[in-house]
Amino acid sequence: MSEIESLSPRKQIWLRLKANRAALASMFLIGLLMITVLVAPWLSPFNGEDIDYEAIASEPSITTGHLFGTDSLGRDLFVRTMEGSRISLAIGLVATLVSLLIGINYGAIAGYFGGRVDAVMMRIVDILYAMPFMFFVILLMVFFGRNIFLIFFAIGAINWLDIARIVRGQTLAIKQQDYVEAARIYGASHWKIIQRHIVPNLLGIVVVYITLTIPQVILVESFLSFLGLGIQEPMTSLGALVSEGANEMESYSWTLIFPAVFLSIILFCFNFIGDGLRDALDPKQVK
């Protein structure tokens, strides 16, 4: 009798994810977008800073070479959109990483040690949750200037709360598992247990949250840029571009449309991937 091996959980999850059309298309699209965003500017003769005096605020056309047109200062919109996408994605990824690092450690420690430690740590999270973060970020920007690293950090510092809560919940569940008790019995230290047994089994849920946090972060940065508090010129982000484009909306609509479309695509795709991952990881689906 032929026997097909049962697949590892990882493979099963992957297969389930592939079956989700929206998620699959999104992954493809994001991949494509990332490649485009990295490569395309090399292909264009223009860069995002040069002013093309012959084509100020011109419509998209192939003849001028400005595929997406130019903005009111004459800068090529295509390259600027690419650069903006790059920056937005970078902020999304880095800020998410920051919040992950803080959140996982915080949540795992609270969940693992439990008792008073957990109670105190989680009350701190509750209190921080209640604070108006946007307000503090804006204050930070105003006082310390619009440093890109500060933006990374500030945005990351908002999202770690969510991740900490999720991780703490998962840790509580994982802590009850027999294999954790087994590790305690054969002498593993608390840190080794967290490192080898808790965190690896958390990664599933964490991955879902990464994919859902990235769009959130990008949106926060976009909002800041819209307010004029985002990254400084000459760097640009999709949010900044959308902000500029909104000003020109009536006369030069393409300056709004292109960045907005890119922003929307990124947000949608990550959300679909996140949803797909969440479904794929749902243990109830396991047969």
Partner 1 sequence: MKITLLLDIENMSVRFNTEQGVVHACRDVSFQLHEGEVLGVVGESGSGKTQLMLSLLQLLPENANINGVALYSDKDLLKLNRPDINQVRSNEIAMIFQDPMSSLNPYLKVSTQLTETLVLNQQIDKQTALKKAIEILEKVRIPDAATRIHDYPYQFSGGMRQRIMIAMALLRKPKILIADEPTTALDVTVQAEILALLKSLRDEFSLSIIFITHDMSIVAGQCDRVAVMYAGQTVEQAILDKLFYEPKHPYTQGLLAAAKSQSGLTDNLVSIPGQPPRNVGVQIGCAFYPRCDKRLDVCEQVTPVMSGSDIQQQACHLYD
Partner 2 sequence: MTDNNIAIEVDDVSVSFRHTGALVSFARKKPFNALSNISVSIKSGSSLGIVGESGSGKTTLAKAILGLYDPSAGSVHFQHGLQQNKDIQFIFQDPLAALNPRMTVEQLITEPLDYLEEKINTQSRIDKLRTIMEQVGLDYLQRQRYAHEFSGGQCQRVGIARAMITEPKILICDEPVSALDVSVRAQIINLLKDFQQRLRLTLIFIAHDLSLVRYISDELIVLYQGKLMEMGPTEEVFSQTRHPYTRALISAEPRPDPDTERQRIYAEYGEVTTMASEANACVYAGRCAHAQARCHSQAPPLQQASDAVQVACFFPLEVATSV
- CA–CA distance, 38 with 35 (Å, rounded to integer): 5
Task: Say if residues 77 and 240 touch (Cβ distance below 8 Å).
Answer: no
Give the HSE-up count for residue 72: Cα atoms under 13 Å, Cβ half-sphere: 13
Counting residues that bind partner 1 (by CB under 8 A) gives 12
Measured from the CB atom, the residue of 131 and 286 that comes closer to partner 1 is 286
Work out which of 28, 47, 51, 184 binds partner 2, going by CB under 8 A: 184
Interaction between residue 175 and partner 2 (CB under 8 A) = no
- CA–CA distance, 101 with 133 (Å, rounded to integer): 19
Residues belonging to the chain: 287
Measured from the CB atom, the residue of 17 and 260 that comes closer to partner 1 is 17
Measured from the CB atom, the residue of 35 and 182 that comes closer to partner 2 is 182
Both structure tokens of 22: 């929206």
**Taking the chain, what is the end-to-end CA distance rounded to the nearest angstrom?**
21
Measured from the CB atom, the residue of 116 and 284 that comes closer to partner 2 is 116
Residue 16 binds which entry of partner 1, partner 2, none, CB below 5-8 Å type-dependent: partner 1
* Matching residue, tokens 């298309």: 25
CA–CA distances in Å: residue 131 to residues 61, 135, 186, 218, 221 = 48, 9, 44, 21, 19
Interaction between residue 190 and partner 2 (CB under 8 A) = no
Residue 186 binds which entry of partner 2, partner 1, none, CB below 5-8 Å type-dependent: partner 2
Interaction between residue 6 and partner 2 (CB under 8 A) = yes
In one-letter notation, the amino acid at residue 77 is: L
Closest listed residue to residue 254, CA positions, set 71, 80, 63, 116: 71
DSSP letter for 147, please: -
Interface segment toward partner 1; rule CB under 8 A; list 6-14, 202-210, 254-262, 269-277: 6-14
- CA–CA distance, 75 with 144 (Å, rounded to integer): 29
Measured from the CB atom, the residue of 86 and 197 that comes closer to partner 2 is 197
Measured from the CB atom, the residue of 200 and 228 that comes closer to partner 2 is 200
Task: Say if residues 163 and 206 touch (Cβ distance below 8 Å).
Answer: yes
Interaction between residue 12 and partner 1 (CB under 8 A) = yes
CB 273 → partner 2: shortest distance, Å?
22
99 to 128, contacts with partner 2 by CB under 8 A? 114-116, 118-120, 123
Interaction between residue 8 and partner 1 (CB under 8 A) = no
Interface segment toward partner 2; rule CB under 8 A; list 61-69, 81-89, 178-186, 221-229: 178-186
Residue 123 binds which entry of partner 2, partner 1, none, CB below 5-8 Å type-dependent: partner 2
- Alpha carbon 98 to its chain centroid, in Å, reads 11
Cis omega before residue 234 (within 30°)?
yes
CB 186 → partner 2: shortest distance, Å?
4
Task: Say if residues 93 and 214 touch (Cβ distance below 8 Å).
Answer: yes
Residue 3 binds which entry of partner 2, partner 1, none, CB below 5-8 Å type-dependent: partner 1
Work out which of 4, 186, 284, 287 binds partner 2, going by CB under 8 A: 186
Ramachandran assignment for 125, one of left (phi > 0), alpha (psi -120 to 50 degrees), beta (any other): alpha
Tell me which residues touch partner 2 (CB under 8 A). Answer: 5-6, 8-9, 114-116, 118-120, 123, 177-179, 181-189, 192, 196-197, 200-201
